[in-house]
Amino acid sequence: MKTTYAAAGLVLAMIASPALAQSTTAPGGLHVSVIAGYEGLGVESDSGTVTADADSAVYGVTAGYDLSLGSAFVGVEGEYSASTGSTEFPGNFAGARDGLETDGQYYLGARGGLALTPGIAAFGKFGYTALDTRSFTSAGTFSDIEENATGLRFGGGVQVQLPGPLEARVEYRRSRYEDVGGDVGEATTDQLVAGVGIRF
């Protein structure tokens, strides 16, 4: 009887081992995705006493490379996204501009993650980002100031393997920029996006 139990246990262990290996195998290789979702834009005056907010859609494309390390992975990633966020500052805003518009947002950074189940992995990311802005006056009394502000982004999410080479993801990320729009102040963007892509 003990021999039977031992043999059964050995068989179960042999069956479970591939499943365990599969569950702890992180994704690797090149990947390209299109993304779309929500962006919240927040602008704060240099004094920190006045704020303005705007909501808009965001869409873009991301690409990168992941190195699988068994149950974990590390990688690099780049992205371009665009949005139509536009704030209007309250009357007590100290700057000379009436609002700030955002356009293109660029990102280059590192990411790392861990396989949770077969085909599902969680990840975090951190890196450099740049934002195209235009600060304006409603009456046109000052020339618009168009500039590229730089900052840092951090975020995280979950990615899911779909049939074939397809892959889906959902992620949140926050970016912070200083000295936007000439005399405006600081800006942050909070994005919640979903994406579908191909892994090679």
Instruction: Please state, in angstroms and rounded to a whole number, the distance separating the CA atoms of residues 73 and 55.
Output: 33
Give which of 148, 147, 110 is closest to 130, Cα–Cα. 148
Per-residue pLDDT reduced to its tens digit, 152-194 = 999 999 999 999 999 999 999 999 988 776 666 788 899 999 9
Residue 37: enclosing H or E segment and its boundaries? strand 29-45
More confident residue, 197 or 13: 197
Q: Tokens 């705007």 identify what position?
A: 54
* pLDDT tier at 102, thresholds 50, 70, 90: confident
In whole angstroms, give the CA distance from residue 10 to residue 27. Answer: 29
Burial 30-55, CB ≥16 within 10 A → b, else e = ebebebebebbbbbbbeeeebebebe
Report the C-alpha gap between 171 and 173 in whole angstroms: 7
Ranking 3-7, 11-15, 162-166, 170-174 by mean pLDDT, the lowest is 11-15
Average pLDDT, the chain: 80
pLDDT mean over 138-156: 75
pLDDT digits (tens, 9 = 90+) for 109-141: 999 999 999 899 999 999 999 988 776 666 555
Q: What share of the chain is helix, strand, coil (3-state, %, to 5)?
A: 10, 65, 20
Please check whether residue 126 is in contact with residue 110, taking contact to mean a CB–CB distance below 8 angstroms.
Answer: yes
Three-class DSSP labels, 42-70:
EEEECCCCCEEEEEEEEEEEEEEEEEECC
Q: Which domains does the chain have, with CATH numbers?
A: 26-199 (2.40.160.20)
The pLDDT of residue 73 is: 96
Tell me what pLDDT residue 1 has: 44
Per-residue pLDDT for 12 more than 60?
A: no
